[in-house]
């Protein structure tokens, strides 16, 4: 994983507004975003990528209903850019096992819950329904099991009595924008060590959790 002196080549996959991509792009990281790819041609994240002068590619999944074939085309497109790291930044499609195997170990995702709690969709609604008092977000390596890969970093936020799914989501999103750039930086610096499914930071005792005061 150690990229040495050259910036790590990063391909970003997204489907929507792309605020996590934006946070990564604006964090002054030792990376080069070599392509931004969206399965939705209208994704705001693609527009932002173009505004930054980045290579922005739309691969419309509705044009190819077979998931395996679409994912193989997507993987070929990614490989054309020779990435060290592939970042899922709100890529809202399940990836096929062959795709994940092809990029395993260099495929990161951000999920809006404290995994392993609340994998899947509607995490904020479910957190409120369960009455949890602490919620948050997780950056993890992607493996074949949905939302279960080795955890790189997490951030926690308090749940307030008057929270709605929207207010909680906004507080969590602010933390996503902190921890995803941090995780990408660690990867680019070659500092992430996967020790039997537990990710540690090389030569460092820095905490891999972030606690928000909930403001
Ligand atoms: C984020 O909440 C992320 O955790 C989830 O999808 C959302 C993407 O938001 N995977 P954005 O497109 O990065 O703004």
Structural domains of the chain sorted by starting position, each given as residue range(s) with its CATH number in brackets: 7-103 (3.40.50.170), 112-215 (3.40.50.170)
Residue 88 near ligand 1, beta carbon < 6 Å: no
Reported for 5-8, long-range contacts at CB under 8 A and 24+ positions apart, including other chains, are 7/31, 7/32, 7/188, 8/32, 8/84, 8/85, 8/187, 8/188
Task: Determine which one of 111, 124, 135, 177 is catalytic.
Answer: 111
Residue 112 near ligand 1, beta carbon < 6 Å: yes
Q: Mind listing the pLDDT tens digit of every residue in the chain (215 residues)?
A: 444 579 999 999 999 999 999 999 999 999 999 999 999 999 999 999 999 999 999 999 999 999 999 999 999 999 999 999 999 999 999 999 999 999 999 999 999 999 999 999 999 999 999 999 999 999 999 999 999 999 999 999 999 999 999 999 999 999 999 999 999 999 999 999 999 999 999 977 778 888 886 55
Q: How far is the CA of 53 from the centre of ligand 1 (A)?
A: 22
Shortest-distance atom of ligand 1 to CA 176: 4
Nearest alpha carbon, ligand 1 atom 6: 90
Active site residue 111: yes
CA distance 114 to 102: 26
Residue 52: the pLDDT is: 97
Shortest-distance atom of ligand 1 to CA 20: 13
pTM assigned to the model: 0.95
Residue 1: the pLDDT is: 46
Within 42-146, where are the H helices?
44-51, 67-80, 97-103, 123-130
Which of 49, 89, 127 for a ligand 1 pocket mutation test, highest count of atoms within 8 Å of Cβ? 89
Residue 18 near ligand 1, beta carbon < 6 Å: yes
CA distance 125 to 164: 8
Residue 113 near ligand 1, beta carbon < 6 Å: no
Shortest-distance atom of ligand 1 to CA 15: 12
């Amino acid at each position: 994983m150690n990229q040495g002196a050259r910036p790590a080549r990063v391909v970003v996959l997204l489907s929507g507004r792309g605020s996590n991509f934006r946070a990564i792009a604006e964090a002054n990281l030792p990376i080069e975003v070599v392509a931004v790819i969206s399965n939705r041609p209208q994704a705001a994240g693609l527009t932002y990528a173009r505004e930054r002068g980045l290579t922005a590619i739309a691969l419309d999944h509705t044009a190819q209903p077979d998931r395996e074939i679409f994912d193989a085309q997507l993987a070929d497109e990614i490989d054309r850019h020779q990435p060290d790291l592939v970042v899922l930044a709100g890529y809202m499609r399940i990836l096929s096992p062959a795709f994940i195997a092809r990029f395993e170990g260099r495929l990161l995702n951000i999920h809006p819950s404290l995994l392993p709690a609340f994998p899947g969709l509607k995490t904020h609604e479910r957190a409120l329904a369960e009455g949890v008092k602490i919620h948050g977000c997780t950056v993890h390596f992607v493996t074949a099991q949905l939302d279960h890969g080795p955890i790189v970093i997490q951030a926690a936020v308090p749940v307030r009595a008057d929270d709605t799914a929207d207010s909680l989501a906004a507080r969590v999103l602010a933390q996503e924008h902190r921890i995803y750039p941090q995780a990408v930086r660690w990867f680019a610096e070659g500092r992430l060590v996967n020790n039997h499914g537990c990710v540690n930071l090389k030569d460092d005792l820095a905490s891999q959790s972030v606690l928000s005061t909930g403001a």
